Copies of this chain bind each other. A is one copy, B any other.
Amino acid sequence: MDKDSGSIFEQQLERNDANCAALSPLALIERTAAVFPEHNAVVYGELERSWAQTYERARRLASALRARGVERGDTVALMLANTPEMLEAHFAIPMTGAVLNALDVRQEARTIAFILQDSEAKVLITDTQFAETVEKALDTLPSPPLVIDVEDPRGPAGERLGKLDCEALLAEGDPAFPWELPPDEWDAIAVSYTSGTTGNPKAVVHHHRGAYLSAVSHILVWGMAQQPVYLWTLPMFERNGWCFPWTIAAMAGTHVCLRQTRAEGVLEAIRRHRVSHFCASPAVLSTLLAAPAKLRRRFDHPVRVMTAGAPSASVVAAIEAMGIELTHVYGLTEAHGSATVCAWQPRWNTQPPEQRARLKARQGVRYPMLEGLMVADRETLEPVPKDGHTIGEVLLRGNGVMKGYLKSALATEEAFAGGWLHTGDLAVWHPDGYLEIKDRSKDIITSGGEKLSSLEIESVLCEHPAIMEAAVVARADEQLREAPCAFVSLKPDAADVSAEEIIEFCRQNLTHLKVPKTVVFYDLPKTSSGKVQKFKLRAYAWRL
């Protein structure tokens, strides 16, 4: 008898409607709207909407989209700021079975056009603030999507591009629209185009199962109490706001929406709404720290911020001095929520502040609900020793990982080689099991038989008093194969400094091979999200 199919626990005990439901973030808003209907789901300026109202608006939007032909597997694109409409769309679009495609609003028309065409968007919901870019993009499309305008009285005025506006569409919709959970939790819920530090955006497809579990995993990491107050500083178009639209629904919390992340507005909102949680990039944290001291006075209620992208130890310490507890995570578009967290060890509480900040600046350990993480050789999948020194690639597996890349079977196969997601990020594994990211794999410099971290060289360069920003890439070298080539921009008020002086400074702080052989004064090229486009610098360096 076949043991696997024959055990008594396999006989006439199948899945059915009573004991197996698709995991989907949609279940989260349904419950919260039923249990806490009057609690504020969203606060935006003077506007407040309850969970019952937000759920009703999402159902109206879903029903109106369905009436206009949006079906399971279609794409609905969003060109929106962090407004209530953006939040509602995160529920409404999956209710129709369609797939969310939130666009990075900072991108140029050409990229927007490429994405709308590639994702085969049937509908585009767009804030009039972005009308100029969107119009240019639409003009180039052979069959443009149905355009729905969002006219936000709190936003800058802008041209209407479509025949329909969002409120008119909602008025058409059925507030009791009988949406259903997806027939399969593996159904796509979102497609996110990476902003592309290499020039070619990839379309990452996420699934309901992963979105649900990723949303819940944040609750565990933060040990989040019921009814948090969450401030939107992170763009909701970035990896669906790391899944927080759904996390906050699960805990019946309140979303505080903001169109802009100016320091004054953020700090005022935290105080006024007693914000308990927010997410922010290190750049936004630096903005907060640059605010006038009066605004930066310590908060008298608990505030927690989640940040990714390796904040410096000094930023960590300064943010915590404001009474904001910082959680350092690491994520990537290919993993829907977060992939790692620098989980805090109680024994670290007794360390001096600088050491605590240094420990916290590491990317850490696997996120709850992510099943596997290792730092390993990308070819052999052999884990590197936990010595804090040997560099390997960060490899992940688990339910938060994407379905794959849209229309790119080869890229999908490569990304999942050996049954692990290859992140392309290089890290060391410390003896305590915490990983620390050293570089992107394509940014590593192979010189004289050694692998050099461009990040390490950049961080030394940034310690030079005259340097504002630095980026280091490989340049061909006859003797060593490759050698570091530094691109630097100087501070506006910096004293004149020569390339030789900078090289001398590096000699004093780096081992021989790591010292740049070339220093170029240059305005660093960046993506719309502010990442340096090293592929452009690399091309420049090879032409030198």
Chain A interface residues toward B at CB < 8 A: 3-4, 6-21, 23, 27, 31, 34-36, 38-39, 71-74, 99, 120, 181, 183, 186-188, 191, 205, 207, 209-210, 216, 219-220, 223-227, 250-251, 343-347, 365-366, 368-369, 371-372, 396-399, 401-404, 406-407, 409, 412, 415-416, 419-421, 433
Contacts and interface: CB of A to CB of B under 8 A. Distances in A.
A371 B18 CA distance: 9
Nearest to A189: B9
Contact of A71 (B3, B14, B345, B396): B3
Mostly, the A contact residues are loop
A79 B16 CA distance: 32
B210 A365 contact: no
24 contacts: A4-B72, A4-B183, A9-B73, A9-B99, A9-B191, A9-B403, A12-B412, A13-B403, A13-B406, A15-B186, A16-B416, A17-B416, A18-B419, A19-B207, A19-B397, A19-B399, A19-B401, A19-B403, A20-B399, A21-B397, A34-B366, A38-B347, A181-B371, A216-B216
A72 B7 contact: yes
A6 B18 CA distance: 28
Given A72-B7, A419-B17, A225 B227 contact: no
Given A13-B403, A409-B12, A416-B18, A250 B187 contact: no
Contacts of A35: 343, 365-366, 433
Given A13-B403, A18-B397, A19-B421, A220 B210 contact: no
A490 to B, nearest CB: 42
A13 B404 contact: yes
B8 A220 contact: no
A251 B222 CA distance: 10
Given A19-B397, A36-B343, A250-B368, 18 more contacts: A3-B72, A4-B72, A4-B73, A13-B404, A13-B412, A15-B186, A18-B396, A18-B401, A19-B398, A19-B401, A19-B404, A21-B399, A31-B365, A34-B366, A35-B433, A220-B251, A226-B344, A227-B346
A344 B207 CA distance: 32
Contacts of A216: 216, 220
A98 to B, nearest CB: 10
Contact of A3 (B73, B220, B399): B73
A140 to B, nearest CB: 21
A18 B420 contact: yes
Given A223-B224, A404-B12, A407-B8, A17 B397 contact: yes
